[in-house]
Amino acid sequence: MPALLFDLDGTMLNSDPIHEAVFTELWTARGLPVPEGFYMEQVHGRLNVDVFADYLPDDPDPQALSKWKEAQFRDRLPAPYPETPGLTAFLDHAQAQGWKMAVVTNAMRLNAEAMLGAIGLRDRFEVIVIGEECAHGKPHPLPYLTAMEALRETAATCIAFEDSPSGMRAAAASGAYSIGIRSALDDATLRAAGAHMTIRDFTDPALPAILARIEGVAA
């Protein structure tokens, strides 16, 4: 039967506006240009240290800068925070079917715990794979492969939900059936990054048919 692998930011909740506000302040303070769409083009779905290596290569301590940025994010994350529409009902259905589930995110662990807590879903997941705790984060497939190993599943039984090009490339490269969430990007962009299908959110009428087809294959 299918196992479900969820990205967090932009997939389970739309926290990108908070991240974008912090990055805008950070870029402005360092004299970097902040053109329209810079967050989606330069930052979205990537590890902070990789972003800083590209745009702040002279920073003496990118890890400390990353910790500061994420502390700013947590300070601004209200709780409770709205989940992606339909998420809880979808998780209820998955649990009733006995499907395994994991979170696979490039967010640092403190942030992942804060976000899951803010949407009231921390107790739903025993397996939470953090990109920066792996040898490689997304867009490398290792975080997804790590989740598969933890769930004792293979790519043939796994469905990944992602919203960013970086995450989608990681999910597709892992071999999982990859579904794009159109929270910030359109169908064409997500498919170009490797999505097999895309949905608006977890209330999308296309989702049950997708799962039924996959469940039949996985069975």
Residue pointed to by tokens 């590890």: 47
Looking at the structure, do residues 198 and 165 belong to the same domain, yes or no?
Answer: yes
Catalytic residue (choose from 7, 16, 50, 204): 7
The secondary structure element, H or E, covering residue 90 is helix 87-97
pLDDT in tens, 33-76: 999 888 988 888 788 888 999 999 999 999 899 999 999 999 99
Q: pTM value?
A: 0.89
Q: What is the CATH number of the domain that holds 155?
A: 3.40.50.1000
Has residue 217 got a pLDDT over 70?
no
The secondary structure element, H or E, covering residue 181 is strand 177-181
7 labelled catalytic: yes
Q: Where are the beta strands (DSSP E) in 55-163?
A: 100-105, 127-130, 158-162
Catalytic residue (choose from 9, 16, 50, 204): 9
pLDDT in tens, 106-165: 999 999 999 999 999 999 999 999 998 999 999 999 999 999 999 999 999 999 999 999
The structural domain count of the chain equals 2
Structural domain boundaries enclosing 155: 3-14+82-218
Q: Would you say 207 and 187 are in contact if contact means Cβ atoms under 8 Å apart?
A: no
* 157 φ/ψ angles, rounded to the nearest 5 degrees: -105, 0
Has residue 213 got a pLDDT over 80?
no
16 labelled catalytic: no
Q: Would you say 56 and 62 are in contact if contact means Cβ atoms under 8 Å apart?
A: yes
Looking at the structure, do residues 169 and 61 belong to the same domain, yes or no?
Answer: no
Residue where a domain terminates, one of 46, 76, 106: 76
* 167 φ/ψ angles, rounded to the nearest 5 degrees: -65, -35
Res 4: pLDDT: 96
Read off the tokens for 10.
């932009």
Res 30: pLDDT: 92
The secondary structure element, H or E, covering residue 178 is strand 177-181
Residue where a domain terminates, one of 54, 76, 98: 76
Q: Which of 216, 52, 18, 218 is nearest to 132 (CA)?
A: 52
Q: Would you say 1 and 157 are in contact if contact means Cβ atoms under 8 Å apart?
A: yes
- What is the arithmetic mean of pLDDT over 189-193? 97
